[in-house]
């Protein structure tokens, strides 16, 4: 298959196919005498696997590991389950961070009636660090150490 055919069948762009190739997620195909790359048909399934794993929150590095484990005869379902559980914990942590951000935004937004000049905007004051509103951006306590 040519790269355009692989891209269409996989539901991605040609540049994505090239990117996955550079990232080592799909193998670089041999070139025909004409110079065209000739991808094997299983490349489409591999790209779809990568996309589904990305949709589940796995990084490209983690996806590469999953692809390797998928063909490792010593790997068990328990290993893959542990990876998925670790990803669940990561997602739950990010959800917690997003909830904290939402709560902080709700708090500072309640302080603004939408009237007055931007120079007196309580939302911008809170973001700038004016703690008189009682709102502190999430993670602000750790920012000072950075």
Percent of the chain with pLDDT strictly greater than 70: 88
Residue-wise pLDDT tens digits, 46-71: 999 999 999 999 999 999 999 999 99
State the Cα–Cα distance between residues 18 and 7, nearest whole angstrom. 10
Nearest by Cα to 17 from 2, 36, 30: 2
The pLDDT of 120-146, averaged and rounded, is: 64
User: What does each C-alpha distance from 15 to 7, 21, 28, 31 come to in angstroms?
Assistant: 9, 10, 14, 17
CATH domain 1-75 topology: Multidrug-efflux Transporter Regulator; Chain: A; Domain 2 (1.10.1660)
State the Cα–Cα distance between residues 83 and 118, nearest whole angstrom. 48
The pLDDT of 14-42, averaged and rounded, is: 92
pTM over 0.75: no
């Amino acid at each position: 298959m040519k790269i355009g055919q692989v891209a269409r069948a996989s539901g991605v762009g040609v540049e994505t196919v090239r990117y996955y190739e550079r990232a080592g997620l799909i193998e670089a195909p041999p070139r025909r005498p004409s110079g065209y790359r000739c991808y094997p048909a299983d490349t489409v399934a591999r790209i779809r696997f990568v996309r589904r794993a990305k949709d589940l929150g796995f990084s490209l590095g983690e996806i590469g590991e999953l692809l390797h484990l998928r063909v490792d005869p010593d790997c068990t379902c328990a290993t893959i389950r542990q990876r998925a559980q670790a990803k669940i914990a990561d997602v739950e942590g990010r959800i917690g961070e997003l909830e904290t951000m939402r709560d902080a935004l709700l708090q500072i937004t309640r302080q603004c009636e939408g009237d007055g000049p931007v120079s007196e905007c309580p939302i911008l004051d809170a973001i700038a660090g004016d703690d008189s509103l009682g709102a502190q951006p999430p993670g602000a306590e750790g920012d000072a150490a950075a």
